[in-house]
Every structure is written in C-alpha cells, then in structure tokens.
C-alpha cells in the first residue's frame, strides 16, 4: 500500500502568514492527490484536487503543487477562517495523511 | 443542491451489528461512485470503503474487510454500510462522501453519524 506522510502535525501561525504543509507519498502517485480542510465538528471540505486544481468556490489564497511523491499545500496569507486541520489524500487507494492542525500563534 | 444525509448510528455492544444509510439528493446518484470515511474521536480521517456507480467495483480498507459490506440502491438514491462484528476501535463518526467525476476527490460529504461500540 502507498503510505502518506504529512508534516508538520501542528503548525502555529499568525493571520497574514504564508503557510506551507507537505505531504509525501511512499511511491509515485503522479498528480493523484487531494487536499481537504476540516473544522471541529464539521465534515471535511475539498480544497484542491489533482494536486494543483482549485475546487470551485475555494479562495485563491489556497494553492497546491507537486507531483510524484512530494506535494505541498500553501495558504498565501492566512485568514481567521483558515484555522483548521488539513488532510492530504492520495487518490490511488484513497489513503489520507495524518493531518496538520493550523493553530493561532 | 447536493445533499448527503447519514443515519443509523448509535450505541452497540462489541460483536454487534449496525447498518448505516446515506440518503442522497440534488444530483444523479446513479452516476457517481460513493464512499464511507470514518473519524475516531480526536483522530484523523480513515477511508473505509468505496463502491462504483453500478456496484461493479467495491473496495474496503484492510481494517474492515470481511466485517463491513458497502452497498447502494440507485432507485432509492441511497448508500449503505452494513457493519458486523463491531469492535471498540470501530467507534467513530462515519461520513458518506461523493466521489467527484471530473474532480478527483471527495467533493461532497454528509454531516456524519456517530457509531459507538461499547459494553
């Protein structure tokens, strides 16, 4: 099975900061990667698919990049609504990363 | 508007069974693969099972293989998860999620239903 390693597990940041989260696959998954945002008590929300395509309605401050085994989710200027937990998911066997909690610094 | 509404969660004893349902509306249900994803309290997301639009392809996580059965009824716009031989570690919120077609990702999710396995 392809394993996903997401880092960091927790990230402390301030409003306006540029934030980057990394997801590494144990073998190449081409661009078959999605990113989700989840807030406490809520269902996850799809942000990015195919590694770099922005889902409809998602603010443009979110971006994704990478292919093969290394991927990043970037928030260009962190907003108060962005404090949440973020997950990557490889679309080969649907496995999720462990999650990254973005906290207020 | 796309809606997914799960039901059927509750408290069950170890070794017991439960059947979850997910009622879909607002889209052509029979055209989409569907999934179950769970989240144990305070933990991350775990994919559980997937079923293709016509039920031709079905996949399970190793952790539930042989105990859980996914199914769907396209005439009723409904997705199901039959859970047998439940264990304490199956305690989680269970979400149904639509598999995007053009979009490779789970593009719509239900609100989740809590399953608690405890004596």
pLDDT 10s digits, B78-107: 999 999 999 999 999 999 999 987 778 999
CB contact, 8 Å: B114 with chain A? no
Q: For an interface test with B, which of A94, A96, A98, A101 has the most B Cβ atoms less than 10 Å from its Cβ?
A: A94
CB count within 10 Å of CB A85 equals: 20
Instruction: Kindly determine whether residue A96 and residue B109, on different chains, have CB atoms separated by under 8 Å.
Output: no
pLDDT 10s digits, A66-75: 999 999 999 9
pLDDT 10s digits, A18-48: 999 999 999 999 999 999 999 999 999 999 9
pLDDT 10s digits, B30-83: 999 999 999 999 999 999 999 999 999 999 999 999 999 999 999 999 999 999
Q: Is the pLDDT of residue A55 over 80?
A: yes
Q: Distance between CA A91 and CA B52 in Å, rounded? A: 14
pLDDT in the model for residue B101: 77
Contact (Cβ atoms closer than 8 angstroms) between residue A41 and residue A32? no
- The closest CB to that of B104, out of A49, A87, A97, belongs to A49
pLDDT in the model for residue A4: 93
Instruction: Kindly determine whether residue B106 and residue A46, on different chains, have CB atoms separated by under 8 Å.
Output: yes
Q: Provide, rounded to the nearest whole percent, the portion of chain A with pLDDT above 70.
A: 100
Q: Distance between CA A90 and CA B7 in Å, rounded? A: 27
Contact (Cβ atoms closer than 8 angstroms) between residue B1 and residue B106? no
Rg of chain B (C-alpha set): 13
Backbone φ/ψ region at B8: left (φ over 0), alpha (ψ -120 to 50), beta: left
């Amino acid at each position: 099975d392809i394993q996903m390693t997401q880092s960091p597990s927790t990230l402390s940041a301030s409003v306006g900061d540029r934030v980057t989260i990394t997801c590494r696959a144990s073998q190449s998954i081409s661009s078959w990667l999605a990113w989700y945002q989840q807030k406490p008590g809520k269902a996850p929300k799809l942000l990015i698919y195919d590694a770099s395509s922005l889902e409809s309605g998602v603010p443009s401050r979110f971006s994704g990049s990478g292919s093969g085994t290394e991927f990043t989710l970037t928030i260009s200027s962190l907003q108060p609504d962005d404090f949440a937990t973020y997950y990557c998911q490889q679309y080969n066997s649907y496995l999720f990363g462990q999650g990254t909690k973005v906290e207020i610094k | 508007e796309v809606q997914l509404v799960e039901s059927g969660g509750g408290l069950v004893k170890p070794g017991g069974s439960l059947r979850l349902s997910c009622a879909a509306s607002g889209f052509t249900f029979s055209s989409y693969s569907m999934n179950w994803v769970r989240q144990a309290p305070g933990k991350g997301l775990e994919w559980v099972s997937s079923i293709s639009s016509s039920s031709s392809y079905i996949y399970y996580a190793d952790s539930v293989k042989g105990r859980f059965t996914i199914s769907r009824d396209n005439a009723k716009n409904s997705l199901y998860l039959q859970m047998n031989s439940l264990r304490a570690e199956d305690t989680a919120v269970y979400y149904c999620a639509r598999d995007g077609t053009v979009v490779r990702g789970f593009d719509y999710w239900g609100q989740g239903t809590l399953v608690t396995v405890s004596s």
